[in-house]
Amino acid sequence: MSRPLTPGERRLPVGRAVRVHVPATSANLGPGFDSMGLALQLDDEVTLEVVEGVWAASVEGEGAESLPTDGSHLILRLAREHLAARGVTVPGLTLHAVNRIPHARGLGSSAAAVVAAIAGAEALLDPEDRLDADGLLGVCSALEGHPDNVAPALRGGATVSWSRGGDAAGEVGTAELSLHPGVVPVVAVPDVEVSTHAVRALLPTSVPHAEAAAQAGRAALLVHALSREPRLLAEATVDLLHQGPRSSAMPETAALITRLRAAGHAAVVSGAGPSVLVLAPGERAATTAAEYVRELYADSSCGWRVQVTGIARGGARVEHVRHG
């Protein structure tokens, strides 16, 4: 999918610079495992500039203390590999990241990094050489391993994605849902990290047919609830595939979801966790859910940051800072 450009010498001009804004995303939404996702109003901002002979990164915000500052930084590495596969010579690249999406919390930080790298690298090319929207989605999905975060990160809103060939490395389709205006996300983020890679290993290799059938029914209902009838969100967000097998890796998350659901809220694990997403049917229900969580943990040392969050209606946005 990352096809080379037409033959000939292609070298990015020194001084060309782009900035990419990529939203956080919450994947799965309960029964839509590896398929459904929602873009949130919280974004990372990544500036890439073509320079001579240097590969260097500077980071503000999330990960500033821990991420590498050389060419091994994930975004620089992915951009470099992608442009090399496209047959483009890059003399050097600097990156400046303003990171607002917390890492390893189930809010799509790695998908945002993939999208920043690939959308940014493509934007550094001349307009006639750039991949179209489907091409970008295919490359990003293959790198991330599943499309449910990268699709809403690229397109915004809520998306349902599928693999035409049956695996994430193949061609990916995505449909944008027409979201009911009453759907309001609430996000509760704990102060512990969970690696997506680690908890994917906890999933069983097969599931009973009856559970798969029940999950398909809930996923179909979820599309209806998100677009037409938000009052059905609590019933539509029941998951039978992935939250149970992973609960031992995030017991606080599982406990919070049980309590929220018992109180009638449509609470799910956000992405691979450990954050919790509530899909509230309206502003008032969202405020009630947020206050419920704050009161639960008012006297506890366990830190949960709770926020009623807007939906990012547009996806990743590219600014052309300098043509070079």
Ligand X SMILES: N[C@@H](CCO)C(=O)O
Q: What is d(CA 174, CA 155) in angstroms, rounded to the nearest whole number?
A: 9
Shortest approach of ligand X to residue 146 CB, angstroms?
A: 5
Q: What is d(CA 213, CA 210) in angstroms, rounded to the nearest whole number?
A: 5
Pick out the residues of the known binding site for ATP.
102-112
Residue 158 C-beta-side C-alpha neighbours within 13 Å: 21
- Binding of ligand ATP by 105 (CB under 6 A): yes
Could you say which of ligand X, ligand ATP, none residue 28 binds, taking C-beta under 5 to 8 angstroms by partner kind? ligand X
Residue 152, token pair as written in the block: 């809403």
Nearer to ligand X, 27 or 289 (CB): 27
Out of 34, 43, 44, 122, name the contact with ligand X by CB under 6 A. Answer: 34
- Binding of ligand X by 230 (CB under 6 A): no
- Binding of ligand X by 28 (CB under 6 A): yes
Q: Hey, which residues between 272 and 301 contact ligand X (CB under 6 A)?
A: 272
What's the angle, vertex CA 44, arms to CA 38 and CA 101, rounded to 5? 65
Q: What is d(CA 70, CA 56) in angstroms, rounded to the nearest whole number?
A: 5
Residue type, 84: A
- Binding of ligand X by 239 (CB under 6 A): no
CA dist 89 to 19, 96, 121, 127, 320, Å?
20, 21, 12, 17, 20
Q: What is d(CA 191, CA 275) in angstroms, rounded to the nearest whole number?
A: 9
- Binding of ligand X by 243 (CB under 6 A): no
Shortest approach of ligand ATP to residue 3 CB, angstroms?
A: 26
Binding track over 40-79 against ligand ATP, x by CB under 6 A? ----x------------------x---x-----xxx----
Residue type, 305: R
Q: What is d(CA 168, CA 55) in angstroms, rounded to the nearest whole number?
A: 30
- With beta carbons less than 8 A apart as the criterion, state whether 193 and 293 touch: no
Binding track over 232-271 against ligand ATP, x by CB under 6 A? ---------------------------------------x
Out of 104, 183, 184, 233, name the contact with ligand ATP by CB under 6 A. Answer: 104
Interacting residues with ligand X (CB under 6 A) = 27-28, 33-34, 146, 148-149, 196, 200, 242, 271-272
